[in-house]
Amino acid sequence: MRKNSGWRLRSDHLRSSNYNAFFDKRLEFEECCEGENTVGALEDTIGRVQADLSGKSRLESSRDQVIQTMNGAHNNGVNGVEGETKVNGIAKSPRPSTKDQKMQTSFGSSAASTTNGHSRPGIHSRKESNPLAPPFIVSAPGKTIVYGEHAVVHGKAAMAAAISLRSYLLCTTLSKSKRTVTMRFSDIGLDHTWSIPDLPWRAFQQPGRKKKYYDMVTTLDQELVEAMQPHIAAVSADLKLERRKVHQGAASAFLYLFLSLGSESSQACIYAMRSTIPIGAGLGSSASVSVCIATALLLQCRALSGPHPDQMDREAEEQLERINRWAFVGELAIHGNPSGVDNTVATNGHAVLFQRKDYSKPPAVSILRDFPELPLLLIDTRQAKSTAAEVAKVGQLKATHPAVTGHVFDAIDAITRSAHDVVTGDEPDSLESITHLGELMTVNHGLLTSLGVSHPRLERLRYLVDQSGVGWTKLTGAGGGGCAITLLKPSASDTPGGRSNGDAAHHTGSALQELERQLEEEGFEKFETTLGGDGVGVLYPAVIDDEEIDQEMFLSAEGREGVEELVGGGRDREAWKYWRP
């Protein structure tokens, strides 16, 4: 009989408080074998590790418990579907892999083993003795279109980037006696609970309809959508139509993903959402929510490894692509026919260049991971807008003056391409590069104004920023109201060579303060954010500065500032982990 074969627990990694060991190390399957020494060695090792836990802190114990509960987890391979996503202009084409399928079969088995004629319960038959997984939080950013609005509708390129306004999803596992799943999105007043056994599992697990986590889903199965309807119709049924549609849209996205990725034996859980992204402002709030839900469910069904600092680039890219594909399914449930750009930005962060020449096919998307993180003012005019009306207005202008509008679209496309050249160049965050990007924003706004999609409130805002001299401003999204973005000029202290001009820096600061006063006085809403930051991130467990974030703390945090102060990356930047290929 071979020693140390079969399942082997790496107790040295379990003892380590290092995040990588805590989060990513699993029970490793080395080879299949028979004999009682395999199981006995495992039990002995677990006993030694449990003894070691007695002197550990509450946080370390919680982390070790996570590893014990994840003894079926594994390191996933390629998604199993080819794609066309590009990273910094280089095509990435994941290849089909049978590793995921084999591992899922192996790790999903709960059959009992036989040793010397006596049956022994399988590893997974001991689930009732495992401790509950600790609460964890998933976060994803919103997005803004930086260049290319409207022209992109007519086949030209556009660039969108992540903003540091984010959504946060706290997942709290309940005891095994509970058989419910709850959505609690307090910012929109949504609170609904379903009984897990009562959900339409039979429909979702029909042969040919049951999806694996590595599958690519590009359309919703209408039979499955219909099977969900009785469970969606009960959500916020007493509210007025407009609010009810928002609640039921979020519920549809969640429930379709939960039924696709989970099973009737899924653990009871409360999913509590908070968001700092304004809703209905064209900033990708629904995509941010979909990314959070998809990531949480993929983590819970053990279809993701990481994130951790030592993760290989290829593996990190594959994990992000898996999240992105399922987030797109959530967007399908909410919007019906999304472009896929918003969820791609919310998943990967940084920025993307996208173009859709043929609406019968998906857009071509390049992920710009080297996009610099830049200071930004996001300003809401508080002027209601209609995206459909503004798009139709430009369409009518094109029909009436095709040659003129064609030249405008070509000019906007040239602006987007020029910006792409800068952010993929050698020094995208240099003073010269940032100035170039700002000037392109100014020209882009002028061209959009010529198409008739600006608004007096947007023009007033642009005038105030120009007068202050603090940055470059353009509308973002469809126009006709809504939001504008201002790329702030670098302060004198950030100039090359490290020399600071105190008087100039003070002047810039006072000008910005005066602008903020004027914006507030005239009814604009301002958000200080950054452009081009990280994508989806995980706080696992939900502990910051040795303080566990529970449901009460999370849901009672006041406003956007309260949420960011409680769980934002600024409080303990090292606690949050991101997939960073």
Burial group, residue 12, by CB count within 10 angstroms (0-12, 13-18, 19+): exposed
> DSSP string spanning 287-327?
HHHHHHHHHHHHHHTT------TT--HHHHHHHHHHHHHHH
Find tokens 């994990």 and name the residue: 319
Which among 481, 483, 501 is positioned nearest to 491, based on CA atoms? 501
| Total residues found in the chain within this entry | 581
Which stretch of DSSP H or E encloses residue 97?
Answer: none
- The C-alpha atoms of residue 146 and residue 137 are separated, in whole angstroms, by 29
DSSP, collapsed to helix, strand or coil, labels residue 411 as: helix
Strand ranges, E, within 196-309:
269-275
Burial of 359 (0-12, 13-18, 19+ CB in 10 A): exposed
- Residue numbers annotated as active site: 342
- Supply the DSSP symbol for 453: -
Quick one: 273 exposed, middle or buried, by C-beta within 10 A (0-12, 13-18, 19+)?
Answer: buried
SS3 label, residue 165: strand
Which residues does 432 contact at the CB level (< 8 Å), separation at least 6?
A: none
Query: 546: which strand partners?
Result: none
Residue among 346, 351, 338 at smallest CA distance from 218: 338
49 Cβ contact partners less than 8 Å away, ≥ 6 residues apart = 9, 11, 14, 15, 64
- Decide the pairing of beta strands 269-275 and 180-185: parallel
Secondary structure element (H or E) that encloses residue 85, with its range: none
Cα separation, 380 vs 391, in Å, equals 20
Q: Confirm if 265 and 225 have CB atoms less than 8 A apart.
A: no
